[in-house]
Every structure is written in structure tokens, then in C-alpha cells.
Chains A and B, each alone.
Chain A
Amino acid sequence: MSVSNLLENWSEFRHKHPVEDVPHDPYKWAMSIDLDACTGCNACSVACYAENNLPVVGKEKYAHGQAMHWMRIERYWPEDDREFPDQGAQFLPMMCQQCEAAPCETVCPVGATNHTPDGLNSQVYNRCIGSRYCSANCPFKVRYFNWYDYPTTENVWPAEMTQQLNPDITLRGKGVMEKCTFCIQRIRVGQRSVKNEGRVLRDGEVQTACQQVCPTNAITFGNLIDTESKVHQQWKAQRVELAVDEQTKDKEEGGSDLRGYRILEELRPYPSVMYMERVRESAI
């Protein structure tokens, strides 16, 4: 790309938002998480381990920051004078936000992570060369690197546990980046089966593993384009828009008392996950 080319076609290169020129149709997968309902029970994280063949790295590697939890529960402690048992943590489930203008996508030297027509941020394992640039550029730090060849590492999956590995998803080898995929294997199965019936997916036909196990139904996943879907209804009720870096409701005089927000929205990654602020004082 020469400088003159860059200057001449500047408006073409400088996209404000990628979905404007290629609209998602008929699917745009999105999520909303109700932090008021979240009890921090970690069931979503466990379900994710089971569904997506995540390696259990063990205490030592975990301490080195090599944990492979695509879905992690972040804990925040309120800074008041209370001691631990009464203090009460605040929980925030954090997974790949499937950004519309994902910072990880632009920096991948081999194009191993790119945007799908249904609004996901895909990770192509066999294309990844392990530069870890994407992880460095991810503001949410939700990309995880295979430092070891976990399928052959001892105690990751003991002999009898290899039987529970999910055959619908690739077992990642050493030197490959991975992240939450919104359970793409379930989405693809759903999409293919409804294609045979000649219709589009209805709300609730595809569930992510974390959504399925959540005991308080804090996680909602669905098609944002489908006006009937629960996730669309929630985004609409909270007045959270996908393709903006500042919500209209926040610009209003005095702000809004609606709970919906997106994390690090001001960095303009246009995340596909909406969180709903907590109302009650503490989780415990």
C-alpha cells in the first residue's frame, strides 16, 4: 500500500464501522448478560470447558497466566471498610465480545481471525501461526494461547476423559491462539438443519453452553436482527445500539437510568455483548 494510494482512497480505507457496507443478514449473533442475576457460580465457565475441549492446565500453569478459560468470571471487590466475608464480590462473566470492528482482526499477519457474515469473530486454527499479536491487541484480554500441546500433555485429559471431548470442534495444537466462539459448532449445526427446512433459525433454537447451564438465566444469546428474539428485545429495552461508539441514551441530559452498557465501548470495537449493570448491593 503506497502512501499516494492511501491518501487517494482514504475514505475507503477509513471505515467508521465495518457492518455498514456488508450488512449482517439474516443473522447477527449477540449476547446480553444480566449482572444482577449473575451469582458468580462459575457454571458457565465449567460448561465452556466441557463444550469447547478446553485444557485444564493445572495450578502451576494457571499461576503463570496460561489458563485457557474462554469464559472467566472476573471478581471486583468494593472498596469499603468491610472485611472479606461481609465485603461481597461483584462478578462479571467475561468472554470474547465478538467485536464488530475487532482490534484482533486487523493485526493478524495471516488473516487467521476474521469477521463472518453472521457477525462473529472467527478463529481459523489451521491458519494461525501463533504470533499472539491478536492477544496483545485485544482490549478485553480474552484470547488464549496454546503454550503446550495440551492433547498430549499429561493430566490435561486423563485417558478416560478423552471420551468426553467434543468431536464437533477442533482439538487445538501447540502454538495456536483460541477464544470464545459463541459456540460456533452449535450455531453451524442449527443453521444447516434449518436450511433443510427452508427457514431461518428461531430464537432459542441455538443456545450457547454457558447460556444453557446458567442457573439464573443471566446469559441471553440470540439473533440481534430477529426482532422477536429475547436478545433483541433486551438490547432495545436498554436502548443499546450496536453500531455506535457512544449510546444516544448516555448523551441525553442527565444520562439515563437504564442498566445496559457495553464494556470499553469508547475504544470503538463495537462489542456484541451487552451487560446489564447490577442493582443489588452485593452478590453475597
Chain B
Amino acid sequence: MHRFIRFSILLMGLFVASSSYSAEAQLAPLTTADDLGPAIEQPIEFPHFRHAKDMQINCMYCHTYARRSSVAGIPPIQKCIGCHQSIESVRESPRIKKLFEYWEANKAIPWKKVHDLPDFVRFNHERHIKRFVFQQNRPVQEVCGACHGDVKEMTVARRQKPLSMGWCISCHEKDHVVTAADGMPVDDQANKASPMGPLSTTGVAVGDQAYWYSMKKPAVNAAGVVVAKGPNDCSSCHY
């Protein structure tokens, strides 16, 4: 008898616990690393699509620090005014009016950070831009879009990728094709004979080039292409 009562109490407890859990789950959805984060309200609803799609302005015209520092940077208000003071056609639109209000009040626009990584992660914009835009000559919007999503279709930027560590690693763990055309180090020390031997026709040791980008040891895959995994050492990003 006792055993039966105990069992029924246990069952009731389980039922109550599970129902309260599901009720809570409905109220506040579990936020995971794959959650795309809240929609952030910016002081001015900046139309990225107008600039990046309609006007075809290069991302790095405004986010000018991306190619030379670890952070991409938010342009100062001078940059906006520099163009907009001579664009009369949109001068009276509400967003531009607001922009000039900040300008006249001598105030910086308090933009909010959308792609905010935890403080213990050191992402470097410069290295990614240097490699993919300047050495591999890929289109800028494709390179930026790999992490920032299709910004040219947005007004204010919205996080479209998880930006979690697993997501970073999913790219860094991939077998990347290593070619000599991707740029090569000029230093003698890096150009010395590679353990893979000179694999390219141009005489550049492709294996060395992979080492150069802190990639893992390159290997020749089934299709006869030299591939290497990206840098995935903890201390590259966490210190």
C-alpha cells in the first residue's frame, strides 16, 4: 500500500514538474548559441539596402577599419555628412533630418552593437578581409556576408548567423583548397622546403603556404587537390 502511495506521489510530482516546465518554456523560449538574438532598435533606422544594394557602395567605404584592425568600426558621423550634405534629394527625409539633428548638436549617433561577441573571444576582421578579399579576390559582400548575413537586403543590421564557437569552427575545420595563387609569404624562412615538397607548378611550396596561414598540415585528397584545415588553436581567439 505504502509503495503504491509513494509511486503515485512520484507520478504526480513528475506531472506537475513537467507541466510547469512546459508553461515556462512557452513564456520565455530557451536562448541558445544558435538563437539569432533580439532585434536591436537603432537610433536611426539606417537603410543598408539603399547604400549597399542600390548605390553599390563597398562595405569598407564606411566600415573602413575592417581591413586594417581587429574591429570593423562604425563610421563617425562626419562620414555620413560628408556625402549627405551634397545629396539634396533626400535632405528632407525623416532619417536624414535626424542625422543632421545629431550633426548640429555635435553629438555622435549612439549606435548599438549587433554582432557582439563575448569578451573572451578575439575575432580579427583584418586577417579575414586580407585573406579573402585582397588575396583571393572574392567579392566584398560575399566575404562580409559569410558572417554578417545578407546585409544589403536589410535596413539596420540583424544577426543572421549564430556566431557561436561551433559555428566558427564549422568553417575552420573544413578542408580548404590550398593553392599558390592565394598569395604566399615572401620571407625566406617561410619559403624553405616544405615537408610536402613543392606541389604547385609555379615552384611555390603549397604546403608552406598552408602553414603560413596557421592551417593544419595539408594533405592531398581523393581528387588530387591539396587541402588543409583552418587554424583552430584555442589560443588564437581566447586569451
Which residues from B are CB-within-8-Å of A117?
Answer: 214, 233
| B130 adjacent to chain A (CB < 8 Å) | yes
| A122 adjacent to chain B (CB < 8 Å) | yes
| B126 adjacent to chain A (CB < 8 Å) | yes
Pair B234/A198 contact, Cβ less than 8 Å:
no
Pair A170/B233 contact, Cβ less than 8 Å:
no
Stretch at the interface among A30-38, A55-63, A124-132: A124-132
Pair A125/B187 contact, Cβ less than 8 Å:
no
Interface string of A196-226 (1 = CB under 8 A from B): 1011100000000000000000000000001
Pair A198/B124 contact, Cβ less than 8 Å:
no
Pair B239/A200 contact, Cβ less than 8 Å:
no
Kindly identify which residue among A124, A125, A171, A198 contacts B183, using a CB–CB cutoff of 8 Å: A198
Which residues from A are CB-within-8-Å of B126?
Answer: 192, 196
Instruction: Say yes or no: A200-B189 contact (C-beta < 8 A), given A127-B234, A188-B236.
Output: yes
Pair A126/B118 contact, Cβ less than 8 Å:
yes
Pair A26/B189 contact, Cβ less than 8 Å:
yes
Q: How far is the CA of A195 from the CA of B135 in the complex (A)?
A: 12
Pair B239/A126 contact, Cβ less than 8 Å:
no
| A66 adjacent to chain B (CB < 8 Å) | no
Pair A116/B124 contact, Cβ less than 8 Å:
no
Interface string of B196-239 (1 = CB under 8 A from A): 00000000000000011110000000000000000001111011
Pair A25/B235 contact, Cβ less than 8 Å:
no
Which residues from A are CB-within-8-Å of B121?
Answer: 126
Chain A contact-residue range equals 20 to 34
| A120 adjacent to chain B (CB < 8 Å) | yes
B117 to chain A, nearest CB (A): 11
Pair A195/B212 contact, Cβ less than 8 Å:
yes
Using CB atoms, name the residue of chain A closest to B68: A196
Pair A169/B239 contact, Cβ less than 8 Å:
yes
Instruction: Say yes or no: A170-B120 contact (C-beta < 8 A), given A122-B239, A124-B235, A198-B183.
Output: yes
| A138 adjacent to chain B (CB < 8 Å) | no
Pair B184/A198 contact, Cβ less than 8 Å:
yes
Instruction: Say yes or no: A199-B127 contact (C-beta < 8 A), given A170-B239, A181-B239.
Output: no
Pair A198/B239 contact, Cβ less than 8 Å:
no
| B186 adjacent to chain A (CB < 8 Å) | yes
| A185 adjacent to chain B (CB < 8 Å) | yes
Which residues from B are CB-within-8-Å of A114?
Answer: 234-235
A98 to chain B, nearest CB (A): 12
Q: How far is the CA of A125 from the CA of B126 in the complex (A)?
A: 24
| A89 adjacent to chain B (CB < 8 Å) | no
Pair A192/B235 contact, Cβ less than 8 Å:
no
Pair A199/B185 contact, Cβ less than 8 Å:
yes
| B190 adjacent to chain A (CB < 8 Å) | yes
| A184 adjacent to chain B (CB < 8 Å) | yes
Q: How far is the CA of A127 from the CA of B238 in the complex (A)?
A: 9
Which residues from A are CB-within-8-Å of B70?
Answer: 192
| B119 adjacent to chain A (CB < 8 Å) | yes
Q: How far is the CA of A114 from the CA of B236 in the complex (A)?
A: 12
Pair B124/A200 contact, Cβ less than 8 Å:
no
Pair A188/B122 contact, Cβ less than 8 Å:
yes
B124 to chain A, nearest CB (A): 6
Using CB atoms, name the residue of chain B closest to A171: B119
Q: How far is the CA of A185 from the CA of B119 in the complex (A)?
A: 14
Pair A116/B190 contact, Cβ less than 8 Å:
no
Interface string of A163-202 (1 = CB under 8 A from B): 0000011110000000001001100100010011011100
Pair B235/A116 contact, Cβ less than 8 Å:
yes
Which residues from B are CB-within-8-Å of A192?
Answer: 70, 124, 126-127
A213 to chain B, nearest CB (A): 21
Interface string of A1-37 (1 = CB under 8 A from B): 0000000000000000000000001100000000000
Known: A120-B235, A192-B70. 12 other contacts (CB 8 A): A116-B234, A122-B233, A122-B238, A124-B235, A124-B238, A126-B120, A126-B238, A195-B213, A196-B126, A199-B185, A199-B186, A200-B187
Nearest 4 pairs between A and B by C-beta? A122-B235, A199-B187, A126-B120, A170-B120
Chain B residues in the interface with A (C-beta under 8 A): 70, 118-122, 124, 126-127, 130, 183-187, 189-190, 211-214, 233-236, 238-239
Ordered by A's residue number, 21 sampled pairs between the chains whose C-beta atoms are within 8 Å are A26-B190, A114-B235, A116-B233, A122-B233, A122-B239, A124-B238, A126-B120, A126-B121, A170-B238, A181-B239, A185-B239, A188-B236, A192-B70, A192-B127, A195-B213, A198-B184, A198-B185, A198-B187, A199-B187, A200-B190, A226-B189
